[in-house]
Amino acid sequence: MKDQILQALRDLRDYALKKNIEATFFYHEEDSYLMRFANSAISLNTNEHLIRLEITAYDDRRRASYELITDLKNLDEMKQGVDITAEMVKHAMPLSYQPTVPTFKDSFVDENGFDSSLASLSNEERLEYFNKAVAGLETDDIKLSGIFSCGANTIAQINTRSEHTQYFKTSDAQISIVLSHSTLKWEVIAEQSAQKKSGLNPTALHRDLSYLMERYQNDAPQQIPLGKYDIVFGPAASGDLLSIMNWIGFSGGSMKRGFSFISEEQVGTKVFSDKFNLTDDPTCLDTFPFQRDLMGMPRNSYTIFENGVFKCFTWSQDDADEYGAQPTGHTVMHKSLVLSGGDTEVTTLEELVAMPRENDILYIPFLHYMNLVNPSKGLVTASSRFGALLLKKDGSVVVPYNVRVTQSVLDIFGDKVAWMSKSQTINNTSQSYGARNPTALIVPIFIQVNDLEISHSNSSY
């Protein structure tokens, strides 16, 4: 299949060259499977096989793109796309800067992240996984929801500047299991990400769900008072907070456009807690990485924060072209963010609950519907969801109704960070808007931040 894809791209390149068209070709193929559960049934079982081709034509400073959903057998349709793009670029307005057309110095193939046994998982295997993960946990009132999303993703590129190609193939699975009470409306979650079939472990999810279920089934929920709390964020919450910094934090383009809480003057200065070490690490297979970016630039581990000191912005090629910066290998569909673990030995929720504590601790595993209130200040707002717990200093545990946190990430990851767990985990942040793009971060399992304000506390679910 790889040869067929690359040959189609070479044919398109030849066609463009014959017509004297400067162009790049971006091929994306997904074979996606989604088994979705709701009310303890399979509510949706889908498969989509889609091939997208994006053609970008350049004429000095002019640039235009055309994307089509097509089929490899349909080369004539793709060639028509080249003609359409070439016509579009004639009418495009010149940019104020010179856009860089990629020139691949050699051909590159990366299939390290592809596991055929995960990509070809059967319907029966997906169902069996779910059945194992929730065995004995469902009742007439407690219902199962969630997804088993898996598939294969292929990206291939060529351009008219060189005959070399880039080819990336990966497999991925994202599992999310929710158990919720149909009348009391509480809900708990367990999640897993896998890049290989061997990474699938329904037993681990069963253990996590069992522990939370025991709390939620037996303890009456409470509205907790507004005020300041020491909060322990779980991996999904930390992952969301880090993801939003892609947008309003360390992106050079965002900074230049006024959407960042970090300024150019802060490079080399302390922004966060000295416990905060963030890298973009494309060697980490669990993040579904790009080892080269889409301009052909090799990607190595890239330190963004070291002991809280902001080291450098990330620059995509287009932002670098526009603002006269050096590209940093970040013309990618997603980064491979890794937040280093700390030195606290706590790996499971049971261990967290058992830890001695001087104050009450609010455990928030998941932040729902996060949005930016003020990007210049890093101010975000979101609500807790899916299994929050209030760990009282006397050792008891309270099940709280959901609360709202409206805080700046400067506070959340600043000097208020008390500790981070040594153990890390994968937080799969894949979204299914548009084309498949498996994405994950590596984060400490727990991060405790002291003295954060709760701005709203629900009186029910």
Partner 1 sequence: MRKKLQEQIERLKKAGATYVDARWYPVEESNYLMMWNGNLKNATSSRESGVGIRALYKGAWGFSASSDVSNIGALFNKAFDNARVAAQRVTFPVRLAEKEAVQGSFSSPNRIDPFAVSLSDKISFLKDLDEKLNKPGVTQRVSELIFMRKQIVYIDSEGSEIEKKIIEVFPSIQVMGVDSQGESHSRKFSPALMGETRGWETVNQQLFSENAERIVREMNEVLVADDCPKEDRSVILLPGIMYLQTHETIGHALELDRILGYELGFAGGSFVTLNDFGNLQYGSTKLTARADATLPNSPGSFGYDDDGVPAQDNLLIDKGILVGAITGRQMVEEANARSHKQIFNGSGGANRATAFYRVPIERMTNINIDPGNDGSLEDIVKNTEKGIILDGDKSWSIGSNREQFHFATDIGWLVENGQITRVVKNSTYKGETVKFYNSLSAVGDQSTWEVRYVDNCGKGQPNQIMQLGHGIPVCRFDNVRIGE
Which of positions 71-110 make contact with partner 1 (CB under 8 A)? 71, 73, 81, 84, 88-89, 91-93, 95-97
- Distance, in Å, from the CA atom of 190 to the CA atom of 212, rounded to the nearest integer, reads 9
3-class DSSP state of 326: coil
Binding residue (CB under 8 A) for partner 1 from 4, 7, 60, 69 = 69
Residues 317-356 that bind partner 1 (CB under 8 A): 318, 322
Indicate the residue among 58 and 305 with the shorter CB distance to partner 1: 58
What DSSP assignment string belongs to 391-458?
E-TTS-EE-BPPEEEEEEHHHHTTTTEEEEBS-EEEEE----SSS----EEEEES-EEEEEEEEEEE-
Please work out the total of residues on this chain that contact partner 1, with binding judged by CB under 8 A. 86
Strand partners, 62: 59
In the complex, minimum distance from the CB of residue 306 to partner 1, in angstroms, rounded to a whole number: 25
Binding residue (CB under 8 A) for partner 1 from 5, 6, 27, 32 = 32
- Distance, in Å, from the CA atom of 445 to the CA atom of 43, rounded to the nearest integer, reads 31
Binding residue (CB under 8 A) for partner 1 from 230, 404, 445, 452 = 404
In the complex, minimum distance from the CB of residue 322 to partner 1, in angstroms, rounded to a whole number: 7
Task: Verify binding: residue 143, partner 1, rule CB under 8 A.
Answer: yes
Task: Verify binding: residue 66, partner 1, rule CB under 8 A.
Answer: yes
Residues 359-388 that bind partner 1 (CB under 8 A): 368-377, 381-383, 385
In the complex, minimum distance from the CB of residue 265 to partner 1, in angstroms, rounded to a whole number: 11
Task: Verify binding: residue 279, partner 1, rule CB under 8 A.
Answer: no
Residues 189-228 that bind partner 1 (CB under 8 A): none
Closest listed residue to residue 194, CA positions, set 237, 148, 154? 148
Binding mask 110-139 toward partner 1 (x if CB under 8 A, else -) reads: -------------xx--x---x--------
* Residue 413 near residue 261, CB atoms below 8 Å: no
Indicate the residue among 281 and 411 with the shorter CB distance to partner 1: 411
Binding window for partner 1 (CB under 8 A); candidates: 182-190, 201-209, 276-284, 289-297? 182-190
Binding window for partner 1 (CB under 8 A); candidates: 5-13, 193-201, 256-264, 303-311? 256-264
Indicate the residue among 152 and 346 with the shorter CB distance to partner 1: 152
Task: Verify binding: residue 153, partner 1, rule CB under 8 A.
Answer: no
Task: Verify binding: residue 423, partner 1, rule CB under 8 A.
Answer: no
Sheet holding 278-280, edge to edge: 309-310, 302-306, 278-280, 337-339, 440-444, 424-428
Return the percent helix, strand and coil in the chain, to nearest 5: 25, 40, 35
Place of tokens 């966060």: 272
Residues contacting residue 286 through CB under 8 Å, at least 6 positions apart: 193, 195, 426, 440, 442
Binding residue (CB under 8 A) for partner 1 from 203, 274, 395, 461 = 461
Binding window for partner 1 (CB under 8 A); candidates: 44-52, 158-166, 228-236, 340-348? 44-52
Our measurement of the distance from residue 153's CA atom to the centroid of its chain's CA atoms, rounded to an integer in Å, reads 15
- Distance, in Å, from the CA atom of 190 to the CA atom of 187, rounded to the nearest integer, reads 11
